[in-house]
Amino acid sequence: MSKALEIEKNKTDELLHEMLPTKVATELLAGRTVDAEKFENVTILFSDIVTFTNIASACTPMDIVNLLNNLYQRFDNLTTVHNVYKVETIGDAYMVVSGVPTRTNSHAEDVANFSLDMVNEAGKVQSPATGESIQIRVGFHSGSVVAGVVGLKMPRYCLFGDTVNTSSRMESHGIPARVHASPQSAKLLIDKGYVFRDRGKNKIKGKGLMSTYILINRSGQTYEEPDDAFCKMPIAKTVDMDIEIEVLPDKTHEDKTNEDKTNEDKTNNEDKTTELKERSKSQIQSPIIDKPVERPKSRSVIVTRPIPISRRQPPLQKQNSSTCMLS
């Protein structure tokens, strides 16, 4: 009995280690609280499937489940090969990190190697809609984050900070079948045998104008680039770290006047709406009861009309009171 119980306990522990990092899971199993930590040097990667919405609309739900399962199993195997931690998947989005919860100086290299291999693995998976190889869009960025366990039921190991947002922007502004890297990540890798194409200045939502780079190769291995317009971009020799923050122009006096007028009209409309709502509410709470209408009492009116002469009866003749005697 005790042996069977031990086997089941080991299964439960293994499942918890799959859901959370080994270091975090061990602390929780020991009954200790896991405090949030700040990690100064990490690299975060996001990826998603190109035209996934179109694929999903053209296929059955079971086809989509099989597609994602096939793709994610390949990515999961690569996380073990390259020592990166799978944070989560949301639909067709796949997120990994290196440097959390175990700190490492090779966080940028681990994610870069993973990104190149995952693009190749994605090319081996066919779309159920077209039968052709799917393409993924990949982006990563390096910086600092705060990480900790959130929740009691199905606890999650979550990352917080601007590094997460910037990594997501690298993916959303990326290119199909390409790996898009921020200048912070490129600077950590360019002197370590990694080859980048200089994409130049790009307007990144929420960041401004930023020089970004396309990872195409790493030392010791050669990857075939897709045949697109980005093949003509120059190889990066240095990394431009400058970011031009987008500044909105100052408003003119006329713009401010129009804005004030718009706000005033909006306020007046809101006041009128509130007044109508209050009036309607008061009517509902105190309904109006109709009073019976007092009507004047009816009186009988006798109307006399003169009788025409032709219809009048002749007057009765007086009979003599004496008796006539017949002889």
* CB 103, CB 41: distance < 8 Å: yes
pLDDT at site 305: 56
Sequence-separated (6 or more) residues with CB below 8 Å from residue 38: 144, 145, 146
**Eight-state DSSP code of residue 204:** E
Helix (H) or strand (E) holding 257: helix 253-285
* One CATH from 3.40.50.1970, 3.40.47.10, 3.30.70.1230, 3.10.20.600 for 35-244: 3.30.70.1230
pLDDT at site 316: 54
* CB 110, CB 98: distance < 8 Å: yes
Beta bridge partners of 48: 137
pLDDT at site 74: 96
pLDDT at site 323: 47
> pLDDT tens for residues 84-111?
999 999 999 999 999 998 899 999 999 9
* CB 16, CB 28: distance < 8 Å: yes
pLDDT at site 297: 56
pLDDT along the chain (327 residues), means of 10: 73 72 78 86 97 94 96 96 93 95 94 96 94 95 94 86 96 95 96 93 91 89 85 91 65 58 64 62 50 54 54 54 45
